[in-house]
Amino acid sequence: MTLPIERARSRKPVTWLTLVGVLLLPAVIGGILVAALYNPTERLESMSTAIVNNDEPVTIDGQTVPLGRQLTAGLVEGSDDQPSNLDWTISNPDDARAGLDDGTYDAIITIPENFSAAATSTSQSENPVQATISVETAPDSLIVDDAITAQVTQAAASLMGEQLSIVYLENVFLGFTTLGDQLGDAADGATELAEGAAAAADGAKALPGGARQVADGAGSLGDGAAEIGGGAAQLAGGASSLGSGATALQSGLSTIAAKTRDAAAGATALAEGVDAGAAALASDGIVPADLTGVAARTEDTAKVAADAIGGVAQGLSGLSAQCAAAGGATAFCAQLAALADGADGASQAATGTHTLAGYTDDGLSQFAAQAPQQLSSQLSTIAGNVRTLAGGLGQLADGVGQSASGAGALATGASQLSGGATGIAEGANALASGAYQLSSGAGELADGADQLADGVSQLADGTGELADGLHTAVEAIPSYTDDEATDLASVLADPVAAEGVGSSIFGASAVPLLATLALWFGGLASFVALQAVPRHALSSRRPSVLLAARSLAPAAGIGALQGLLVAGVVQLAASYDLGTWMLFAGLSVVAGVAFAAVNQALVAVFGGAGRWISALVGVLAVATGVVSTVPGVLSSVAGLMPTTPAYTALLAALTPAEGVIPGVVGMLVWGGLAFVATIIAVVRRRTTSPRSVLVTAPA
């Protein structure tokens, strides 16, 4: 069935099939674009991605940490926020490479060997390393495949990084609590140290006076030690002289002891002679001449013994008087004194014996005149006295011998005393030298003690300030419970959250852009099939406005229906609420009519080049509507295109953005200007030159 509508570039009539094809073209285009591009993240299972986990787990505090395995599990299982996911395959490097080359896999996610070590290096190493994973897509991958793969992988890596950061920060915050406790202990210790330092400062202030007293005492000690050294030297000299005298005394006493023993032997012989004479006198009654001679010799011998014993007694008395002054032992001095007394007694006895011997000699002279019995009795008495004298002389000899031994011991002791006194002198001199050095050192100690007192006072002040600073630091350091540390770590690990950010690759502007493109190419398709300017415009008598309107009317109706169809396709994909969809549908109808008018004007004014310009406008709309980083020149050109008001109005209908009214006004302005341009093109077609008439109808 044909219709009274002119077909472009052909005189064949337009059929209903042509109109249906033109009508359905934008719906088909819009449906394909929306179905293919709207919310692609809901169909990620159609993308196959291989995971190659080369990670080597690490051991921390005796526990194995396989972060590569955990990341792999997170990618494969997805999350509660994003139930859909890619088609993941856990593979190895060779299989993954082969699958990427033959098209089995669209991408490869590789987790390196040091992933766990690097991810945990913030708490295990002084040189932390950032953990990385690599993403490789096929060389022939589609435009958005790289973005989808990178987005999913980056989301998983960010989530794992956030979890690691939470654990690390939680330990840091708990470490603050521990640090605060330890600093509190340190502050208390610093307070005690400050108090101790203050006490030490007080003690240090008293130290210089004590050191100076030590210096004065050491000086006095040196002087006393020097005097002791001098006295000890004199004592050594006296002891040496005493030793020499004691040696000489020992020699003399030994001689005296020998002489005394000889005298004792003579006295004993005298006693025996007297006894014999007495016995002879008693028996004979006559005094023999020999007896008178014995008496004379006895007197002489007694005199010698008395003189010798008297000398010994004087020597012993002198030694006894000098013993204590020479430093002799008390016991020895007492024994020497007793010996001196005994010697004195012996001297007196010897003197008496001499006197007795004299009397004996005189008595013998008188004895001849006396009775023999009386004389014999007296001689017996004399013999007894002589024997007594002999016993005393023996005891005296023994005492003198003992005195000689004591004098030897005295000589030995005096020699030892001399050596000891010499050592005492040397030690006293050394003590004096050391005491003088001690005095000098004590003086220096006093000076150092003054400095020490100042330093300890400064230490006390510094430790007090340290204690105050530590207490201030303890008050400034926060303290957290386990739950507080976990909550704060969760916030700091992800401090900024973006709300209202969807997971769609294209965002909310995808539908308005796709709808605008579908309606624009639908308007272009209308004037690919329909005639923009009536062929009989030159011969028609109707006004140019009516001719232009007659050509626009079918395309405008088709554009309105295209707008409804495109809105229906969008509703099937996006399921908007009724009010939003009705506004979107009305704007789509207006856009379809306006685009029909603009495409009619392009073809009417530029002919076939107008269709080329229309296609270029569609391409620019796509190029400038996908991303905001296009060059400024293209953005400026896009702002002047007829698709911009339609896109602005449709976007405002589906999002909180404003621009519905300006968009509608812009579409009406473009439609009105385009219709005026079409009228002008019709007017131009209704004029011709004579040559054109002659060419058309030759004579």
Q: How far is CA 451 from CA 207, 214, 443, 466, in A?
A: 11, 18, 13, 22
Task: Give the mean pLDDT of the chain.
Answer: 74
Averaged pLDDT for residues 634-649: 88
What average pLDDT does range 568-586 have in this prediction? 88
- Range 27-55 average pLDDT: 63
Q: In angstroms, rounded to a whole number, what is the distance separating the alpha carbons of residues 198 and 392?
A: 86
Instruction: Report pLDDT for 431.
Output: 75
Band (pLDDT 50/70/90 cuts) for residue 670 is: very high
pLDDT digits (tens, 9 = 90+) for 503-536: 444 556 778 888 898 899 888 888 887 877 777 6
pLDDT greater than 50 at residue 258: yes
pLDDT for 492 beyond 60: no
Residue 136 pairs in a beta bridge with 108
Encode pLDDT of 298-338 as tens digits.
777 767 777 777 787 787 778 777 887 777 777 778 877 88
In order of 107, 214, 437, the CA distances from 217 in angstroms are 96, 5, 12
- Tell me which of 503 and 581 has the higher pLDDT: 581
Q: Tokens 């495109």: give the residue.
A: 566
Cα 245 vs. chain centroid, distance in angstroms?
83
Give this prediction's pTM: 0.46
How far is residue 24 from each of residues 20, 228, 346, 518, 570, measured CA to CA in Å?
6, 138, 176, 10, 14
CATH 1.10.287.950 domain residues, the chain? 246-440
d(CA 559, CA 435): 126
In this predicted model, what pLDDT tens digit does every residue of 606-632 receive, in sequence order?
Answer: 987 888 898 889 888 887 876 666 687
Confidence bin at 580 (pLDDT 50/70/90): very high
pLDDT above 70 covers a percentage of the chain that reads 66
Phi–psi pair at 563, nearest 5 degrees: -60, -45
Write the class of the CATH domain 246-440: mainly alpha
Residue 70 pLDDT exceeds 50: yes
Q: What is the pLDDT of residue 425?
A: 75
CA distance 443 to 218: 10
The H or E element that residue 89 is part of is strand 87-91
**Is the pLDDT at 28 greater than 60, yes or no?**
no
Asked if 143 and 36 touch (Cβ cutoff 8 Å), the reply is no
Cα distance between residue 298 and residue 644, in whole Å: 179
Burial class (CB in 10 A: 0-12, 13-18, 19+), 374: exposed
Q: What was the pLDDT predicted at 430?
A: 82
pLDDT of amino acid 697: 44
In this predicted model, what pLDDT tens digit does every residue of 419-467 receive, in sequence order? 876 877 787 778 778 777 877 876 787 777 778 777 777 877 787 777 7
